[in-house]
Amino acid sequence: MMKKILVPVDFSKHSEYALNVASSIAKQHNAEIIVVHMLGLSEAIINKDESVEGMQAMYYMKLAQKRFDEFLDKDYLKGIKVTEIVHDYRVFSELNDVARDNHADFIVMGSHGSSGLSEVFVGSNTEKVVRTSDIPVLVIKKPIKDFQFNNVVLACEFEKENIPSYKKAMKLFALFNAKVHLLYVNLPAERFRSTEQIEEKVRDFLFQADNGNLDNLNKVVYRDNYSIEEGIFSYCNKIKADIIAVPTHGRQGLAHFFFGSVGEDLANHSDIPVLTLKM
């Protein structure tokens, strides 16, 4: 059951895209939305004497509250319980603590996605949230009207380390009654596998992940391509996927298809939301 959705906001249009999507999900599941603003007071303010610091902090808190009042004045939020939180965090990885303390089930956040992976994910606030979050993170880049969670692609290498994220994903997809496509992209050269090798690998993975049940074998799609990103991108566009879901390696870094041109293509050339799940 999905009860609480966390939406980090900086009052930008991309935060509003995320908030709109979160509202669609909340209405479908009768869930609460928790909006959190990272105040992030500068070191200059923090290093002042306590009285000045207190006055400055109060000013920024009141300013954030005023901006919340304006930002949350949206018709699509009517009927949804919305809780506002302002934290003086400066590190976006701390959102995982906010999510845990508030028992959030899901994070929806916006990303501008216009300058490539190096600025959108690696080293950015979005990447820090994705890499450190213990709960699924849905990254929204464009405005989406009437967001749907119906047609989902889970890109997977079907390695044993993917099993926890696979289970999380399938459990989440079941909540939405989503049609699931399990995608394996076969590359030439060093990663090339024969059809028989791939099928055996996938069968072994699903047998272990689904406790001996192989019903999900009919959801597996195999694509040959020269790059993982192109394989994912072309298939998702072909079936008009609502979401691309990918596993992440947590604090050890993103899954390899979020490095280099792979993540850049997914983040910059696709308007499809990206869902990440920690391994």
Among the ranges given (37-51, 97-111, 119-133, 240-254), the one the predictor scored with the smallest mean pLDDT: 37-51
pLDDT given for residue 190 in this prediction: 62
Parse the chain into domains and list their residue ranges: 1-141, 148-279
Contacting residues for 35 by C-beta, under 8 A, at least 6 apart: 7, 8, 9, 19, 68, 72, 82, 83, 84, 85
Residue 56 banded pLDDT, cuts 50, 70, 90: low
pLDDT given for residue 39 in this prediction: 66
Residue 107 above 70 pLDDT?
yes
Residue 117 above 50 pLDDT?
no
Residue 16 banded pLDDT, cuts 50, 70, 90: very high
Residue 174 banded pLDDT, cuts 50, 70, 90: very high
Pairwise CA distance, residues 241 & 266, whole Å: 13
Residue 270 banded pLDDT, cuts 50, 70, 90: low
Residue 138 above 80 pLDDT?
yes
Write out the H or E segment, with its range, that includes residue 98.
Answer: helix 95-101
Residue 86 above 60 pLDDT?
yes
* Cα dihedral 144→147→152→155 (10° resolution): 40
pLDDT given for residue 199 in this prediction: 92
Pairwise CA distance, residues 181 & 178, whole Å: 10
Q: Under a CB-based contact definition with an 8 Å cutoff, are residues 143 and 151 in contact?
A: no
What 3-state DSSP class applies to 124?
coil
Q: Which residue has the higher pLDDT, 204 or 52?
A: 204
Q: Under a CB-based contact definition with an 8 Å cutoff, are residues 4 and 35 in contact?
A: no
Q: pLDDT tens, 65-84? A: 778 888 899 999 999 999 98
pLDDT given for residue 266 in this prediction: 58
Residue 159 above 60 pLDDT?
yes
For helices 260-269 and 228-238, the axis angle rounded to 10 degrees is: 20
Percent of the chain's residues with pLDDT above 70: 75
pLDDT given for residue 90 in this prediction: 55
pLDDT given for residue 53 in this prediction: 52
* Half-sphere exposure of residue 94: CA atoms within 13 angstroms, side-chain side: 11
In CATH terms, the fold of domain 148-279 is Rossmann fold (3.40.50)
Pairwise CA distance, residues 142 & 157, whole Å: 28
Region 220-229 average pLDDT: 88
- Choosing among 3.40.50.620, 3.10.400.10, 3.10.20.10, 3.30.450.20, the CATH entry for 1-141 is 3.40.50.620
Q: Kindly state the DSSP code that residue 142 receives in the 8-state scheme.
A: S
Query: Rounded to 5 degrees, what are φ and ψ at 87?
Result: -120, 145
Q: Please state the pTM of the whole predicted model.
A: 0.83
Same topology between domain 1-141 and domain 148-279: yes
10 Å Cβ neighbour count for 90? 13
Q: Under a CB-based contact definition with an 8 Å cutoff, are residues 164 and 279 in contact?
A: yes
